[in-house]
Amino acid sequence: MPVYKAPLRDMKFLLNEVFDYPGHYTRLQSGENATPDIVDAILNECGRFCEEVLSPLYQSGDEEGCNLENGEVTTPKGYPEAYQQYAMGGWQGLSAPEEYGGQGLPASMGLLKQEMMGTANWPFSMYPGLSMGAMNTIFLHGSEEQKQAYLTPLTEGRWGGTMCLTEPQCGTDLGQIRTRAQPQKDGSYKLSGTKIFISSGDHDLTENIVHIVLARLPDAPKGTRGISLFIVPKFLPDGDGDVGERNGVTCASLEKKMGIKASATCVLNFDDATGFLIGPENEGLNCMFTFMNTARIGTAIQGVGPAELSYQWALAYAKERRSMRALSGKKEPDQPADALIHHADVRRMLLTQKAIAEGGRAMLYYAARLADHMVEGHTTGDDKKAEAYDDKLGFLTPILKGFLTELGNEAANLGVQVFGGHGYIREHGMEQIVRDTRIATLYEGTTGIQALDLLGRKVLLMTRGGAVREFTLRVANFARKTLTDKRVRPFAVELLKLTAQWNLLTVRLMLAARKDRDMVSSAANDFLMYSGYVTMAYMWARMAAVASDKLDKGGADSEEFYRAKLATAEFYYERLLPRAQAHATSMLSPSKNLMQLGAEDMSFIG
Amino acid sequence: MPVYKAPLRDMKFLLNEVFDYPGHYTRLQSGENATPDIVDAILNECGRFCEEVLSPLYQSGDEEGCNLENGEVTTPKGYPEAYQQYAMGGWQGLSAPEEYGGQGLPASMGLLKQEMMGTANWPFSMYPGLSMGAMNTIFLHGSEEQKQAYLTPLTEGRWGGTMCLTEPQCGTDLGQIRTRAQPQKDGSYKLSGTKIFISSGDHDLTENIVHIVLARLPDAPKGTRGISLFIVPKFLPDGDGDVGERNGVTCASLEKKMGIKASATCVLNFDDATGFLIGPENEGLNCMFTFMNTARIGTAIQGVGPAELSYQWALAYAKERRSMRALSGKKEPDQPADALIHHADVRRMLLTQKAIAEGGRAMLYYAARLADHMVEGHTTGDDKKAEAYDDKLGFLTPILKGFLTELGNEAANLGVQVFGGHGYIREHGMEQIVRDTRIATLYEGTTGIQALDLLGRKVLLMTRGGAVREFTLRVANFARKTLTDKRVRPFAVELLKLTAQWNLLTVRLMLAARKDRDMVSSAANDFLMYSGYVTMAYMWARMAAVASDKLDKGGADSEEFYRAKLATAEFYYERLLPRAQAHATSMLSPSKNLMQLGAEDMSFIG
């Protein structure tokens, strides 16, 4: 089984050549220390850590999984040591505020780290990822005292964190939450209830775990407006920054899952556990979701990472495994057969993976610039700026999370397919990528929820199509500018058609939704996928434009790299982008074809 | 976890109302005993066996898997007993010739049995399925003595069978086979070599296992023309029809797989194992592939079965689980939330599963009629008839195998998606269906191989487009006849367009392939998927036409059933069929977008 190699050339192409991150960082306060040298050093060092420490634990972690014994969870062999290296390296605080022990670098640096860690070993990366969720929440909504007590050890990586939302009766529909919080005389609360699907709910990587918990106060209003947010530490802090008394939260069981087996998914019982209110009473959902966009982009990485990893391994196999002769004639006449890579259909699968991995990465880095501004708004107390960029990001988030995780699953499955029957065998690791990736379209809001968020909320309700108009204007402006570049012109022409179509589709759906209340929900999935294909087309055109420019200027150190970008763009436009039209047709079809069949008539068994 | 329910209403709708199996059986010699009563009784009894015996073992078999100890493989708890019931019930010989202990019923009856067994418990169904492969091969190519010695105990289910093709260095490319067969003085052979991925290679269900093995004679020509076929029994027959001496074939290890864990996938070592030549020397591949079409249709069932099973369970969950309110207003005001089934996007997923399961089933039953005629040609020694029907079937086989297994994977994944996060948890069984189904696009010829077989061989090389012309003529004739039916007319109009387009695409590819030798391989996958969507559209139109007719005539006992068929057809045409156009666009794009990138330029890592 090969190991992961950080695709630094591609990452730096996007950062330095396509999206001008060096310039972007000079415009950020947090960018002061993110000079090109520093960024380069961090990427190289993080890549090395992921290649040498995390990647080798990917498969063994899946084989061994997590264990629950005597109420304590242990992670697979090598995980605690790897985590120690991670924490000692200061990686958890990379983009955390300096006043709580972080390095104060831009949020996007954290995303680059997450991407490499998540590609090398997604299940491992979930532990620090969940901690980040807790850190963000406490940073924004915690009191200064809470920040001192919890944020600092979290930033140092000494403590871990979780987000406790889901209960047996509800996941998406958090208004149904039942966990109770009883106020105590000392200002604290006693929490009781059961939470399920809690990633990193218990483990042996850190000396303490800080649970961020949604619960109801007595007499709280029903539904989503009666939910408050609490900090519930596994061990109560002793006041000196160390851990004290064990709190009443226990891991009742570990879920047996399809994949991400090295990530501990816990059923947590809260039994009069001591908790501390964070943020205002009954506004827990708002507080929890302040960083929803960044959390969802964090999950969108799980579309890109597996595509990259599966591509790396499938490509290596396709170069080495020989089967049959290429239809256009023998390519390796001295061998008993030609390598798989000479077969057009194998290339179709590999290029699909490549286009998804690189196009998806571009989408992430494009969005991360906006995230930097949003986070800077928050850290500097500039709420207006934070909100403005959160809105921009809010349009892209469901597209990234929904579309990229769906395509990540496709890419992972293609990796298995390139291996043929061997892809189904565990030792090659390809099927593990499929199993691990399958969760991505389910958690942090299913694809269906992302689709509704995009079409129903962001596009129609909040902006009456304005979000699409604004984004497509940007795309069309870019396209018009590149019409004169012979290599990019076909992409630009297509993009101009698509931006017009995207607006037209939006208007037609808006009109249809006035007469038909089921239209939005009926069209949402197709609209999400359509939006994803067009957004990725924009990214491929941007990359192609840079590549073409470099080739024009000549003297590039890696002409082949740029030619490969142009070839992949061509593949994307000619072989994958046509799918957008199927979604366009389907989304405009009447909601009747989904709604007319009575629930009792959907099956006639028995 | 719910159990499987045999969808007898839908099966009988297809058999009796759409495809006139009663009439079809009267035109078959083997159909003499397949009277409507008998068929009905068999379906009911088989359904009961699958529901009560096989379905409850589905999940436990996955948990436990197979075990190899002291060179012997044991299947999961309950498997040997279930197999005993199966064998005692005479199920293995259902469609086998009466002279060797079978019931002599039409081949299609065997397919119906396989469908129900494979849906209830695919891994279990593989044991009898592999035996069937061995039976077919021996029946057609074995000597009378071999038939007496092997076919009879196989038909009785006392012995099991395997097909030993794959070796470590080759799966698809069987010309690379290295296993050697050394002639012995007594007319037998000694076989030596290693075979991998041998399903049912060893187990504790039967008293003997009959391996059908591809191997090379000394001085055989290189490549595919130097391969011969051998019978290698685990135990040599003692001459009285019982098992004698242990032969030199041993299970070296069991593969650890993504799924189908209850099916023993073995590495088999042949160490001077005694074998008996079957069929002519060096014509082993031809002999092995005589029944390739039926074997591939057998695997196509794995597209339909999981779609059905996943649909049954997802539908039950969607009716029971409540989350959020329907966008068109509260549906269950007295409940804290509406059931999932009231959400349009959940319905989209369920209807996709339904359309795939029912449309795929129709494709199977449509093809099974042709298979009946082909098999009858073989059994009656009418080679011309056999060949004629094998050709007809040969066009449909790659479409069924390639397209239906791809869509089966999609359906299984949608089942997980309907369950949300719970779909990822093992106890619900939904993720097992995904894991089990993933193999279907890999074995019996990958999707890529099916695509090449369809476009390269069946359509272009063998018939110069004639196969498409012939099939679309049939479709268009049907469509024209139904134009007058108001309910079916929209489907008929669409079908007429598609039949014209299918021919046009074929011609354009044929012309392009003359100038560009990579064109066929580049376009094959899209052509396969396009063909699949159009063929399934034909099936949905056929079903809709019958349903409409029944509604017109009135007095139907189940009007809702027919209305549901029409509604599902509408869903298929409006929401799934548009995908065919994306494939049409993609298949005509230049092969350059796949071939231009040098292998060494596909990645710039490091």
Q: Do A323 and B166 touch (CB under 8 A)?
A: no
Query: Does residue B520 belong to the interface with chain A, where contact is any CB pair within 8 Å?
Result: yes
Smallest CA-to-CA distance from B605 within A3, A507, A71 is with A3
Q: What is the pLDDT of residue B328?
A: 86
Q: What is the pLDDT of residue B291?
A: 82
Q: A332 by DSSP, 3-state: which? A: coil
Our CA-based measurement puts residue B498 at a distance from the nearest CA of chain A, in whole angstroms, of: 15
Q: Do B354 and A602 touch (CB under 8 A)?
A: yes
Q: B182 by DSSP, 3-state: which? A: strand
* Side chain identity at residue B120, one-letter code: A
Q: What is the pLDDT of residue B606?
A: 64
N- to C-terminal Cα separation, chain A: 48
Cα gap B247→A351, rounded to integer Å: 47
Residues of A in contact with B597 (CB under 8 A): 347, 351, 564, 567-568
Closest-CA residue of B relative to A419 is B442
Our CA-based measurement puts residue A573 at a distance from the nearest CA of chain B, in whole angstroms, of: 9
Please state, for a pLDDT cut of 70, what percent of chain B lies above it: 100
Cα gap A573→A540, rounded to integer Å: 8
Our CA-based measurement puts residue A379 at a distance from the nearest CA of chain B, in whole angstroms, of: 33
Query: Does residue B570 belong to the interface with chain A, where contact is any CB pair within 8 Å?
Result: yes
Mean pLDDT of successive 10-residue stretches along chain A, which has 606 residues:
91 98 97 96 98 98 97 97 98 96 97 98 98 96 96 97 96 95 98 98 98 97 96 93 94 98 98 98 92 91 97 97 92 95 97 98 98 95 95 96 98 98 97 98 97 97 96 98 98 98 98 96 98 98 97 85 98 98 98 97 89
Cα gap A253→A197, rounded to integer Å: 10
Q: Which of B337, B426, B574 sits opposite A176 (nearest CB)?
A: B337
ipTM of the complex: 0.98
Q: Do A578 and B581 touch (CB under 8 A)?
A: yes
Q: Which residues of B180-216 are buried (b: 16+ CB within 10 A; e: fewer)?
A: bbeeeeeebbbbbbbbbbbbbbbbebbebbbbbbbbb
Catalytic residues of B: 444
Q: Are B102 and B93 in contact (CB under 8 A)?
A: yes
> What residues of chain B, 270 to 329, have a C-beta less than 8 Å from chain A?
311-312, 315, 319, 322-324, 326-329
Q: What is the pLDDT of residue A3?
A: 87
Cα gap B447→B445, rounded to integer Å: 7
Q: Are A398 and A454 in contact (CB under 8 A)?
A: yes
Q: Do B594 and A354 touch (CB under 8 A)?
A: no
Backbone angles phi, psi at B602, to 5 degrees: -80, -5
Q: What is the pLDDT of residue B459?
A: 97
Residues of A in contact with B259 (CB under 8 A): 424
Q: A196 by DSSP, 3-state: which? A: strand
Closest-CA residue of B relative to A451 is B345
Residues of B in contact with A17 (CB under 8 A): none
Exposed, middle or buried: residue A320 (CB in 10 Å: 0-12, 13-18, 19+)? exposed
* Side chain identity at residue A31, one-letter code: G
Alpha helices in B223-321 (DSSP H): 284-288, 292-320
Q: Do B448 and A9 touch (CB under 8 A)?
A: no
Q: B181 by DSSP, 3-state: which? A: strand
Strands (E), A200-322: 208-215, 228-233, 235-237, 243-246, 249-254, 265-277
In chain A, count of helices (H) and strands (E)?
Answer: 22, 11
Query: Does residue B564 belong to the interface with chain A, where contact is any CB pair within 8 Å?
Result: yes
Q: Are B559 and A605 in contact (CB under 8 A)?
A: no
- Residues β-bridged to residue B251: B268
N- to C-terminal Cα separation, chain B: 48
Cα gap A263→A405, rounded to integer Å: 18
Smallest CA-to-CA distance from A456 within A533, A388, A521, A532 is with A521
> What residues of chain A, 230 to 269, have a C-beta less than 8 Å from chain B?
255-259
Alpha helices in B66-121 (DSSP H): 79-88, 107-120
Instruction: Write out the two tokens for B62.
Output: 């996955």
- Average pLDDT value for chain B: 96
Instruction: Write out the two tokens for A501.
Output: 């179509």
Q: Do A416 and B438 touch (CB under 8 A)?
A: yes
Residues of B in contact with A442 (CB under 8 A): 416-417, 420-421, 423-424
Q: B9, B10, B345: which to substitute to probe chain A, counting the most A Cβ within 10 Å?
A: B345
Backbone angles phi, psi at B326, to 5 degrees: -60, 145
Q: What is the pLDDT of residue B1?
A: 65
Q: B269 by DSSP, 3-state: which? A: strand
Query: Does residue A48 belong to the interface with chain B, where contact is any CB pair within 8 Å?
Result: no
Q: Which of A351, A447, A582 sits opposite B579 (nearest CB)?
A: A582
Residues of A in contact with B602 (CB under 8 A): 315, 341, 350, 354, 564
Query: Does residue B335 belong to the interface with chain A, where contact is any CB pair within 8 Å?
Result: no
Query: Does residue A594 belong to the interface with chain B, where contact is any CB pair within 8 Å?
Result: yes
Query: Does residue B330 belong to the interface with chain A, where contact is any CB pair within 8 Å?
Result: no
Q: Which residues of B479-512 are buried (b: 16+ CB within 10 A; e: fewer)?
A: beebeebebbeebbebbbebbebbbebbeebbeb
* Side chain identity at residue A173, one-letter code: D
Q: A231 by DSSP, 3-state: which? A: strand
Q: Do B421 and A171 touch (CB under 8 A)?
A: yes
Q: What is the pLDDT of residue B3?
A: 87
* Side chain identity at residue A375, one-letter code: V
Q: What is the pLDDT of residue B327?
A: 87
> What residues of chain A, 448 to 477, have a C-beta less than 8 Å from chain B?
448, 451-452, 456
Backbone angles phi, psi at A384, to 5 degrees: -65, -45
Closest-CA residue of A relative to B352 is A594
Distance from the Cα of residue A199 to its chain's centroid? 15
Q: Are A359 and A421 in contact (CB under 8 A)?
A: no
Q: Which residues of B420-456 are buried (b: 16+ CB within 10 A; e: fewer)?
A: bbbbbbbebbbbbbbbbbbbbbbbbbbbbbbbbbbbb
Q: What is the pLDDT of residue B99?
A: 94
- Average pLDDT value for chain A: 96
Res. B380 pLDDT band, cuts 50 70 90 = very high
Closest-CA residue of B relative to A562 is B601
* Side chain identity at residue B10, one-letter code: D
Look at the alpha carbons of B181, B182, B188, B191 in this order and tell me if their dihedral is positive or negative: negative
* DSSP-assigned states of every residue in B573-585: IIIITTHHHHHHH
Q: Which of B558, B594, B604 sits opposite A347 (nearest CB)?
A: B594
Cα gap A416→A318, rounded to integer Å: 12
> What residues of chain A, 132 to 171, have a C-beta less than 8 Å from chain B?
166, 170-171
Q: What is the pLDDT of residue B571?
A: 98
Cα gap A27→A31, rounded to integer Å: 7
Query: Does residue B481 belong to the interface with chain A, where contact is any CB pair within 8 Å?
Result: no
Cα gap B232→B28, rounded to integer Å: 34
Our CA-based measurement puts residue B601 at a distance from the nearest CA of chain A, in whole angstroms, of: 6
Our CA-based measurement puts residue B448 at a distance from the nearest CA of chain A, in whole angstroms, of: 6
Q: What is the CA radius of gyration of chain A?
A: 24
How far, in Å, are A405, A443, A566, A570, A601 from residue B596 at the CA level?
28, 39, 11, 10, 52
Q: Locate tokens 């957008």: which residue?
A: A580
